[in-house]
Amino acid sequence: MLAQEMQNTLIEFTKTIDSWIIGEEKELKDLFESEYSENYAPGNAAMIFASVYNYTRDKYHLNRCYDMIRRSIKLLEKRESVSPFCRVFLLHYSLMAILYLPEEEKKSAKKEFGRFYGSYEDDCNQINTNCAALQWGNEVFLSMLGYKKLNKDKIKYLLTFISNGQNHLGFINDSIPSNGIPTDGMPIAYHTFILSILTGVIVATSDSTEYREEYNLTKEIIKKGYVWSSNTLASDATFAMAERSSHQMFTWGALVSTVCFSGSEDSATIKNVYENWLKYKKTDGSYSCTPNYLPHELRTGFETYTHVNMYNTLGFVGIATAEKIISKDLRVSSAPSLSVINKDYHFIDIESGYAFYKKGKNFYGCSLRLHEKKYIPSMQGFHFRLNGKETPLAEPKLLENTDPFNRYLMNSLFEGYILKDTLGKQYFSDSVDNARINQLDYGFELIYEDDLLTCQKRIQVYENKIEWDYTMTPKVDFVDCEHVLPIVVFDGKEGIKSRVLSNKTMNLFWRESQYQISCNKSRKITLSVDQPRNLMSVSGVSTLLKIRINSNIFANQTIQWKTTLRFCNNISNEATYEEKLNAENLELNIVRLEVDKQGPQQIGTSITYTVEATGKQLSYAWYVYKNSERIHVEWYTDLNYFKWAPNEPGVYRILVFVKDFEDNKVTRYSEETTII
């Protein structure tokens, strides 16, 4: 039972929280940061201990809950040293902790804490939309506990503030300050977090019918927001994110609680979403704050405000909420079913500036513009899944920099072009206006034009490959053009190895799989030690793979190129792995020739032939025979596969030629395929 699994995980995690609590003051400081260290972690911890006490009835958990409430109150009293926004969190989750307690314990808590909470004045403006959601919850909590009379005007104002931040497709922009005028932040993580805050308030006060009108509107916001979120769900039950706080651990708890509340009875999907983060558990019982296996000390993919105590506990607040939803059967009625909305789609939201593509197990998200905080470029693909698998592509992230020459780009992580002018200034896809977007069968086409260039970019994900297809016409002269890809070199568990096959082709060996990157117009392809490794991506230690496209590009000269990342095969064991790495020392040989479809096929069926060979700097040619007569030739390229769609009945065979750098050749015929 999933609820029982969550309970066991929460109970185990309370031991970790306990190990962090120090001194007579019961401080819950971060072990890895001295600045802003304790933050709102005690409020989160109080709520987790209260949740666990409900099903253990262990007085130790109750006492720890009270300890953390008392610590939260201490911090709430420190108005000079604890920021107003931090105190909103402390108030919210310490009150939620009391609401989670059984009735008798609630009464005891009121005797000790009621007067303080009833007299506490919140001095924080609505600095963003998630702040408004927390403050709305605080007003409901204080009234529900009998600590303060409900301010109906305030909760109506706050709920309207949140509702106004939601667009017609369901996305909630967190970047709306107290004046109500939105900015172009559009962080997907906080869209999800806001949904989880609203969910948490309804779940914590589920015994009440007093706020029915407000809750009906709240549930509509959640349901509409969840429909938007469902388009970010990849086939491996992970969610695509871009901009601020993407893939921080708290988003895991937020997603689990939202999916449990708004999703379907598809327990397998809910279970997979829940279990996604469990693999990142550390030996001390804490969890990675970002989805990699690197130690906390490296802060890989962290934001400046990411803290282990804060985001671990906030993540588990979401799990505690999800556990109650399942145990008490609190799922919102008439919510959309995952089985209905989790299907093939092209989803485009012009207002938020995002698009998502899913077909079968292939998936990616895409930014249509450079948003306010400049986390990723415009026309940027992210969170690629190829047949349900992660690829060596790192989640993108631009380095914060104000260098007018943009020389920081080589220290950033993104997929895209880098153009250089005669003065050495570098240019990338940095438009703050949406690119025009068109749907393709396997992805999207993006088109942008400004004073410097016209660029058409196609991002397509096929059964075993990702393609980036560029057509660019500069309006001024440039001296250099490179195509760069963000590559994970180490995720804390698995490293990457590479082998250059030619100026156009490189093989990558990662997580027991072999990938090939090729570019038809590449002059040189490099994954060099000269290129800095950095810790900005949540994926792990990463770097830029550089593909040199052209030099001395003149105004009005159109250049085109296509770069492909192709999944080649799984590497079944270490011996095979080493054999492939040392392929240059082996004689030229065809290991196997495979076809993706067996038996008779219909006219027009697309058939893919893939050859695996050993040798150095290989290229491949393909002959097509129909009834023993050669009818088509595909001359030598770096591609080790060939797609063919026969348009007439007959018996077909393929003959593949494999050639190495010394012009040695080997051949092999495929099995016959009958077309009817």
481 and 617 both lie in a single domain: no
pLDDT at 333: 63
pLDDT at 618 over 70: yes
**467 and 562 in contact (C-beta within 8 Å)?**
yes
> What burial class does residue 537 get, using C-beta atoms within 10 Å of its C-beta: 0-12 exposed, 13-18 middle, 19+ buried?
buried
pLDDT band at residue 586, thresholds of 50, 70 and 90? Answer: low
> DSSP letter string over 273-320?
HHHTTGGGB-TTS-B-SSSS-S-GGG-TT--TT--HHHHHHHHHHHHH
What CATH code is carried by the domain that includes residue 622?
2.60.40.10
Scored b (16 or more CB within 10 A) or e, 190-212 reads bbbbbbbbbbbbbbbbeeeeebe
Instruction: Mention every residue, 6+ apart, whose C-beta is less than 8 A from residue 1.
Output: none
Other Cβ atoms within 10 Å of 115 Cβ, number: 11
Per-residue pLDDT reduced to its tens digit, 517-536 = 999 999 999 998 778 899 99
pLDDT at 460 over 80: yes
pLDDT at 342 over 70: no
Scored b (16 or more CB within 10 A) or e, 221-242 reads bbbbbbbbbbbbbbbebbbbbb
Q: Residue 239 pairs with which residues in a beta bridge?
A: 233
Report the distance separating Cα 626 and Cα 381, nearest Å: 41
What CATH code is carried by the domain that includes residue 273?
1.50.10.10
Report the distance separating Cα 538 and Cα 290, nearest Å: 6
DSSP SS3 for 642: strand
What CATH code is carried by the domain that includes residue 431?
2.70.98.70
**Residue 220: domain span:** 2-341
Which of these, 448, 481, 247, 249, lies nearest to 367 by C-alpha position?
Answer: 448
190 and 291 both lie in a single domain: yes
pLDDT at 115 over 90: yes
pLDDT at 575 over 60: no
What proportion of the chain, given as a percentage, has pLDDT over 70?
95
Which of these, 280, 276, 236, 235, lies nearest to 255 by C-alpha position?
Answer: 276
What backbone torsions phi and psi does residue 143 show, to the nearest 5 degrees? Answer: -70, -45
The type of residue at 386 is L
378 and 317 both lie in a single domain: no
130 and 253 both lie in a single domain: yes
pLDDT at 334 over 60: no
The type of residue at 8 is N
112 and 242 both lie in a single domain: yes
pLDDT at 584 over 60: no
Per-residue pLDDT reduced to its tens digit, 631-666 = 998 888 888 889 988 989 999 999 999 988 777 889
pLDDT at 580 over 50: no
Instruction: Mention every residue, 6+ apart, whose C-beta is less than 8 A from residue 304.
Output: none
Report the distance separating Cα 451 and Cα 558, nearest Å: 15
Average pLDDT over residues 550-576: 82
pLDDT band at residue 578, thresholds of 50, 70 and 90? Answer: very low
Q: Residue 659 pairs with which residues in a beta bridge?
A: 619, 665
pLDDT at 573: 41
pLDDT at 665: 86
DSSP SS3 for 158: helix
336 and 273 both lie in a single domain: yes
pLDDT band at residue 161, thresholds of 50, 70 and 90? Answer: very high
pLDDT at 606 over 80: yes
494 and 558 both lie in a single domain: yes
Instruction: Mention every residue, 6+ apart, whose C-beta is less than 8 A from residue 646.
Output: 601, 603, 604, 605, 607, 626, 652, 675
**Domain final residue pick, 341, 358, 387:** 341
388 and 266 both lie in a single domain: no
Which of these, 53, 132, 131, lies nearest to 98 by C-alpha position?
Answer: 53
Which of 85-99, 168-182, 300-314, 334-348 comes out lowest in average pLDDT? 334-348
Angle subtended at Cα 241 by Cα 238 and Cα 242, rounded to the nearest 5 degrees: 160
**Domain final residue pick, 578, 606, 637:** 578
274 and 395 both lie in a single domain: no
Which of 203-217, 357-371, 556-570 comes out lowest in average pLDDT? 203-217
pLDDT at 140 over 80: yes
Per-residue pLDDT reduced to its tens digit, 53-64 = 999 999 999 999
Mean pLDDT over all residues of the chain? 92
151 and 132 both lie in a single domain: yes
510 and 561 both lie in a single domain: yes
166 and 181 both lie in a single domain: yes
Report the distance separating Cα 50 and Cα 10, nearest Å: 11
Angle subtended at Cα 384 by Cα 565 and Cα 312, rounded to the nearest 5 degrees: 135
Report the distance separating Cα 98 and Cα 43, nearest Å: 11
Q: How far is CA 32 from the centre of its chain?
A: 25
**Domain final residue pick, 323, 341, 359:** 341
Other Cβ atoms within 10 Å of 370 Cβ, number: 22
Domain count, the chain: 3
Average pLDDT over residues 558-570: 92
Average pLDDT over residues 400-404: 77
